[in-house]
Amino acid sequence: MPSISDFGSDSGSSGGFPSALRGLPRARLDALPLGGLRCLILDAIARAPSPHNTQPWRVRWIGTVLMELGLDERRWLRAADPMKRDAWLAIGCAVRNVQVAVAELGLVLDWEVKGDAVVMDFADDTAGRPLVPVEQVWERRTSRLAYASAPLPVELLTPLGQAAAPLQLITLAGEQCTWLHRLLVAATASQLADAPVHRELYTWLRFTPAQRDRACDGLSYDALAIDRVTALLSRALLHPRAMRFLARTGLHRMLASSASAAARRTPQYQLLWSERRTHDPAGLVLAGTRLQAIWLLLAANGWYCHPASAIIDVQATAEELCTRLRLPAAATPLEILIRQT
Ligand SMILES: Cc1cc2nc3c(=O)[nH]c(=O)nc-3n(C[C@H](O)[C@H](O)[C@H](O)COP(=O)(O)O)c2cc1C
């Protein structure tokens, strides 16, 4: 199969909408270069966020432009994400990226979860629905910069709520940020002290250049915005054997607290939640598409953010979150976004 660069991706390592496809009149599906279209779809999937950058995609073409996108279980965080919540959310984020990318070509994507995969079907878009600028698929990043001190402009709240529909998006502010930050520290500490979870997450941290270069996945130290020396120190400190010792002495809580220190200053968190029980792949994929729609919209408006999924991944903190917010019994918290500059 041709590579994306054969179709003039302006990308290099940072990626971009392929230049050969740019500026085409909104074409009919059968008039588009098939190789270019397939490469675009694969690249848009690879640009989606995923937990610890595990890139858990399993793709298979089952027709000319009919694709199956499933979960590669070798990349599933089975200890940290036993219900596959984050994994299916990530797949939903990838589906949204593909929707935005092909919309630029005048195509619409229909998707449906069948068995253990999302089946994606493409057709000419007659409605011409406006989406965020396609560049955001490549420009959005998980930011680990300083946390934003200003609240979101009020005029963004309505479009964000629309992007979340039919799910709910609420802004948590003021006193809520104080206890949310405490939940984040508690959830992080719980993951550090849970040996199988910590061992698994540790394997996805790429603390040395060699590890980083060997695989284009996982969390490299530059993705974490730490320098090489800090990376080497963290590698020793976070090693599962060292962590067993720290957890026995309770010192892991200090680590959790310093890892989340910056979040203490954030004035708002956004919580995406569903009124219905949402644990099945179809519901989670839908939620992932909404999570990514929100994330892309924020990025298009110059706001960076990152999820704080530990609060929801750890049962005790997820329960406290629901209780404090008095969410209905069947409600499912899906993701918490923290905004950064
Ligand atoms: C469902 C989901 C949960 C995530 N949870 C966290 C998290 O708790 N903390 C965090 O810093 N990043 C989290 N991320 C962001 C990933 O680390 C990030 O997407 C990945 O490293 C790839 O980087 P990119 O988003 O810049 O492409 C999450 C992403 C997804 C899709």
Burial of 217 (0-12, 13-18, 19+ CB in 10 A): middle
Residue 146 CA to ligand 1 centre (angstroms): 16
For ligand 1, atom 28, the nearest C-alpha belongs to: 51
> pLDDT tens digits, residue range 89-147?
999 999 999 999 999 888 999 999 999 999 999 988 877 766 899 999 999 989 887 78
Q: How many domains does the chain have?
A: 1
Question: Best substitution site from 57, 306, 335 to test ligand 1's pocket, by max atoms within 8 Å of Cβ?
Answer: 306
Half-sphere exposure of 243 toward its Cβ, with a 13 Å CA cutoff? 23
- Tell me the residue range of the domain where 56 lies: 4-139
Cβ pair 152, 268 in contact under 8 A:
yes
Listed residue (124, 144, 140, 142) closest to 132, CA to CA: 140
Closest residue CA from atom 18 of ligand 1: 49
In a domain, 287, yes or no: no
The reply to whether 151 falls in a domain is no
Site to probe by mutation for ligand 1, drawn from 43, 45, 52 as the one with most ligand atoms within 8 Å of Cβ, is: 52
**pLDDT by 10s per residue, the chain, length 341:** 444 444 443 433 446 777 767 766 666 788 888 888 999 999 999 999 999 999 999 999 998 888 999 999 999 999 999 999 999 999 999 999 999 999 988 899 999 999 999 999 998 887 776 689 999 999 998 988 778 888 899 999 999 999 999 999 999 999 999 999 999 999 999 999 999 999 999 999 988 777 766 567 898 887 888 888 888 899 999 999 999 999 999 999 999 998 888 788 888 999 999 999 999 999 999 999 999 999 999 999 988 888 999 999 999 999 999 999 999 999 999 999 988 76
Distance 125 CA to ligand 1 centre (A): 31
Would you say the C-alpha torsion 187, 287, 332, 164 has a positive or negative sign?
positive
Q: What are the pLDDT digits (tens) for 181-220?
A: 999 999 999 999 999 999 999 999 988 777 766 567 898 8
SS (H, E, C) the chain: CCCHHHHCECCCCCCCCECCCCCCCCCCHHHCCHHHHHHHHHHHHHCCCCHHHCCCEEEEEEECCEEEEEECHHHCCCCCCCCCHHHHHHHHHHHHHHHHHHHCCCEEEEEEEECCEEEEEEEECCCCCCCCCCCHHHHCCECCCCECCCCCCHHHHHHHHHHHCCCEEEEEECHHHHHHHHHHHHHHHHHHHCHHHHHHHHHCEECCHHHHHHCCCCEECCCCCCCHHHHHHHHHHCCHHHHHHHHHHCCHHHHHHHHCHHHHHCCEEEEEEECCCCCCHHHHHHHHHHHHHHHHHHHHCCCEEEECCHHHHCHHHHHHHHHHCCCCCCCEEEEEEEEEC
Whether 70 maps to a domain, the answer reads yes
Q: Tell me which of 54, 309, 337 to substitute to probe ligand 1's pocket, judged by most ligand atoms within 8 Å of the beta carbon.
A: 309
User: To test ligand 1's pocket by mutation, which of 14, 45, 50 has the most ligand atoms within 8 angstroms of CB?
Assistant: 50
Instruction: With respect to residue 179, please indicate whether it lies within any of the assigned structural domains.
Output: no
Is residue 28 a part of any domain in this protein?
A: yes
| Token output for 154 | 């009020």
**What whole-number distance in Å separates Cα of residue 242 and Cα of residue 331?**
38
Q: Rounded CA gap, 225 and 316, in Å?
A: 29
Spacing, Cα 296 to ligand 1 middle (Å):
14
Q: Which ligand 1 atom is nearest residue 89's CA?
A: 1
Atom in ligand 1 nearest the alpha carbon of residue 93:
31
Q: Ligand 1 centroid to 223 CA: how many Å?
A: 10
* Residue at 104 is within a domain: yes
Q: Taking Cα atoms as reference points, which of 85, 99, 81, 91 lies closest to residue 49? A: 91
Q: If we measure between CA atoms, which residue out of 89, 186, 152 comes closest to residue 340? A: 152
Predicted local confidence at residue 15, as pLDDT: 64
Ligand 1 atom nearest the C-alpha of 141 is 26
The number of angstroms, rounded, from the C-alpha of 103 to the middle of its chain's C-alpha atoms is 21
219: CA distance to ligand 1 center in Å? 9
Is residue 39 included in any domain, yes or no?
A: yes
The closest residue, in CA terms, to atom 19 on ligand 1 is: 49
Side chain identity, residue 197: V
For the sheet with 268-274, list strands across it: 168-173, 268-274, 332-340, 304-307
CATH of the domain at 57: 3.40.109.10
Query: 């302006």: which residue's tokens?
Result: 10
Q: Which atom of ligand 1 is nearest to the CA of 140?
A: 26
- What spacing in Å lies between the alpha carbon of 30 and ligand 1's midpoint? 36
Asked if residue 313 belongs to a domain, the reply is: no
- Residue 90 near residue 48, CB atoms below 8 Å: yes
Which residues have any ligand 1 atom within 6 Å of their CB? 49-53, 86, 89-90, 93, 141-142, 219, 223, 306-310
Quote the pLDDT of residue 226. 85
Which residue puts its alpha carbon closest to atom 21 of ligand 1? 53
Would you say 4 and 40 are in contact if contact means Cβ atoms under 8 Å apart?
yes
